Amino acid sequence: MADESREHEAPTRRDYIKYGGAVIGGGLLAGCTGDSDGGSGADSSTETTTEATAGTTETTTTEDNAYSVTIEPAGEISFDAVPETWVAENASWGDMGVALGLDKPSAVVLTGEYRTWHYEDIPGLTTSKGDMVSLWQDGISKELFLEIDAGVHFIDPNYMINLIPNWERSDVDEMSERVAPFCGNTSFSAYPWHESYPYYSLYEATEKVAEVFQRTDRFEALRTLHDETISGIQDRLPPESDRPEIGLLSPGSTEPDKFYPYRIGDMTAYKHWHDLGVSDAFEGSNIKSFTSDRGSIDYEPLLEIDPEVLMFYTDKHWTRSDFRDTYLAFLQDHDTASQLTAVQNGDVYPAGGMYQGPIINLSKTERAAKQLFPDEFARDERLYDRQRIADIRSGNV
Q: In whole angstroms, what is the distance from residue 377 CA to residue 371 CA?
A: 9
Q: What total of structural domains would you count in the chain? A: 2
Give residue 190's pLDDT: 82
Task: Say if residue 88 is in the same domain as residue 165.
Answer: yes
Task: Say if residue 176 is in the same domain as residue 61.
Answer: yes
Give residue 59's pLDDT: 53
Q: In whole angstroms, what is the distance from residue 9 CA to residue 17 CA?
A: 17
Task: Say if residue 163 is in the same domain as residue 206.
Answer: yes
Of 186, 203, 230, which marks where a domain is finished? Answer: 230
| Residue 186 falls inside a structural domain | yes
- The CATH number of the domain holding residue 302 is 3.40.50.1980
Range of the domain at 115: 30-230
Weakly modelled stretches of the chain, pLDDT under 70: 1-63, 292
| Residue 20 falls inside a structural domain | no
Task: Say if residue 38 is in the same domain as residue 78.
Answer: yes
Instruction: Using the CB atoms, write b or e for 181-211: b if 16+ within 10 Å.
Output: bbbbbbbbbbbeebeebebbbbbbbbbbbbb
CA-wise closest residue to 214 among 263, 274, 151: 151
| Residue 19 falls inside a structural domain | no
Per-residue pLDDT tens over the stretch 344-355: 999 999 998 889
Task: Say if residue 204 is in the same domain as residue 225.
Answer: yes
Task: Say if residue 188 is in the same domain as residue 258.
Answer: no
Give residue 219's pLDDT: 98
Task: Say if residue 193 is in the same domain as residue 242.
Answer: no
Of 230, 250, 275, which marks where a domain is finished? Answer: 230
DSSP β-bridge partners for residue 247: 310
Give residue 396's pLDDT: 96
Task: Say if residue 189 is in the same domain as residue 99.
Answer: yes
Give residue 341's pLDDT: 98
CA distances from 303 to 20, 285, 340 (A): 27, 13, 6
Q: CA torsion angle for 164, 165, 166, 171 (degrees, to 10)?
A: 0
| Residue 361 falls inside a structural domain | yes
| Residue 267 falls inside a structural domain | yes
Task: Say if residue 139 is in the same domain as residue 45.
Answer: yes
Residue type, position 257, single letter: D
| Residue 8 falls inside a structural domain | no
| Residue 25 falls inside a structural domain | no
Of 211, 230, 249, which marks where a domain is finished? Answer: 230
Task: Say if residue 225 is in the same domain as residue 246.
Answer: no
| Residue 197 falls inside a structural domain | yes
Residues contacting residue 19 through CB under 8 Å, at least 6 positions apart: 28, 294
Task: Say if residue 274 is in the same domain as residue 179.
Answer: no
* Mean per-residue pLDDT over the chain, rounded: 87
Is 200 in contact with 208 (CB distance < 8 Å)?
yes
Residue 293: φ, ψ to 5°: -130, 5
Task: Say if residue 269 is in the same domain as residue 373.
Answer: yes
